[in-house]
Amino acid sequence: MFRALRFVIIAALILVLVWWIASIPGTFTAHSGKITVTTSVPFAIFLWLIIAALVTILLRVIGGLRRAPGGITRWRGGRRKQLGEAATQRGIVALSAGDAKAAEIEAQRAKKLLGETPLVLLLTAESARLAGKPDEAKTAFEKLTQDKTMAFLGHRGLLRHHAAAGDHDAADLHAAKAESAYPGAAWLKTQRFGLAIKKQDFSTALGHTTSKPEIAALATGAARAATTDRDALAYAKQAIKADPTLAPAAVTYAAILRKLKRNRAAKKSLLNAWKILPHPDIAAAYLENVTTPIERAQAAADLAKAKPGHPESELILAQTSLDAKLTGEAKRHAEAAIAAGLTDKRPYAVLAALDEPNAKAALAAAMQPVWSCTACFTAHDTWSPACPNCAKPGTLIWKTAQSKALAAA
């Protein structure tokens, strides 16, 4: 209704205007050289209006043409972006599929189309890593750390790079930077735990675990590495509390007490550990400062009394009796150890030294007790806080023929 009214008013105004122009009297004359054009004023006004309209249209067209190249660039830019994004997506899929070559090709294509955007850098880095080109990966990860939102991924890549190269200090530095880029990341906690163990920084590793066997092993390692006696004692106590059956923890605790001239306390702690679970390392520590064979046999008898009849008690009695030339006792205790199920090399070595029949053959056939990793199943002669093979903490357990027999029973 309103639009119709507006149309009628405008039409009326134009009509009035045209009528007014048409009614203007007089003539209009234009000279150009010898040509003279004479027309009425209304016609000249209409002509002028037509020329003005044509010029306006012409200017519009020229302006449009001038803007057109920008338009084409914009259109081409949009197309490049689309192609670049598609290449990035294909690269990510290739990465997930483990196709290093395809991922690399797509990464290069995406880089050409989009430049070094954070996502392209990540794709470049990960595909180079997958293709076994660590230096290229490192360069891309370094660039990625400059991006505020993707910095975590850059540091994560560099952490893995340095850890794989065995540079644990550099890896640790990137772990700290990744932590500040993304505080509290669960993945990072596992990494820092593993890094601390690889660096043998057991006190730091301790802060990353709540597992009792891990605490016992790591605290023992921390106690051994502690720079002050106070710290050493505190860590050793923590280790024994977490796992009273862990012989290296008890032995470490006793060694610290001895260093502090607390010999009685050291002896008591070893006796206590033997009572809980006898182990040859505890016996060795108990007999450490006892020099003469007779005194050693007597000390072994004291220790054995803490856990009478245990095969390890019988074994230490057999071994010290042999050294003290108490051959009858040595044979009796070695046989008692075997009867109790301890059939590794140690009791047979005592019997072989006594020239007992068949003892040498049995010694050759028997197993050597070892520290065995529960995670990777490798055997080690000495205990360490983390497995030297797989670097898992608290996985080494003492394995003798007796423990095998008990497991089979």
List residues near Zn ion by CB under 5 A.
373, 375-376, 387, 389-390
Q: How far is the CB of 267 from Zn ion (least distance, A)?
A: 33
- The least CB distance from residue 405 to Zn ion, in Å, is 23
Output 89 or 389, the one with its CB closest to Zn ion.
Answer: 389
* Environment class of 406 (CB within 10 Å of its CB; exposed 0-12, middle 13-18, buried 19+): exposed
Give the residue with the Cβ less far from Zn ion, 358 or 374.
Answer: 374
Q: Which of 385, 386, 387 lies closest to 377 in space, CA to CA? A: 387
Nearer to Zn ion, 311 or 393 (CB): 393
Nearest distance, CB of residue 249 and Zn ion, angstroms: 19
Smallest gap from Cβ 372 to Zn ion, in A, equals 9
Cβ nearer to Zn ion, comparing 218 with 352:
218
Residue 394 and residue 217 in contact, taking contact as beta carbons nearer than 8 Å: yes
Residue positions counted in the chain: 409
Nearer to Zn ion, 45 or 375 (CB): 375
Q: How many CA atoms lie within 13 A of 240 on its CB side?
A: 20
Residues 6+ apart with CB under 8 A from 83: 109, 113
Shortest distance (Å) from residue 213 CB to Zn ion: 13
CB of 377 to Zn ion, least distance (A): 7
At its nearest, how many Å lie between Zn ion and the CB of residue 190? Answer: 17
The nearest distance, CB 387 to Zn ion, in angstroms, is 3
Residue closer to Zn ion, measured from CB, 139 or 372: 372
Enumerate residues 6+ apart whose C-beta is below 8 A from 346.
280, 315, 319, 337, 369
- Rank residues 318 and 386 by Cβ distance to Zn ion and give the closer one: 386
Nearer to Zn ion (CB atom), residue 218 or residue 273: 218
356-385 burial, b at 16+ Cβ within 10 Å, e below that, comes to: beebeebbeebeebbbbbeeeeeeeeebbb
d(CA 7, CA 287): 118
Nearer to Zn ion, 248 or 311 (CB): 248
Torsion of CA 206, 209, 210, 212, to 10 degrees: -70
Cβ-Cβ contacts under 8 Å for 240 (sequence gap 6 or more) = 216, 246, 249, 250, 253, 273
Instruction: Using alpha carbons, list the distances in angstroms from residue 230 to 200, 224, 238, 248, 371.
Output: 20, 12, 12, 19, 29
Looking at the Cβ atoms of 364 and 376, the one nearer to Zn ion is 376
Q: How far apart are CA 315 and CA 332, in angstroms?
A: 10
Smallest distance from Zn ion to CB 165, Å? 22
Token duo for residue 232? 């050493």
Instruction: Quote the least distance from Cβ 396 to Zn ion, whole Å.
Output: 8
Q: In terms of Cα–Cα distance, which of 100, 99, 123 is closest to 111?
A: 123
Q: Which of 306, 253, 341, 342 is nearest to 319 (CA)?
A: 342
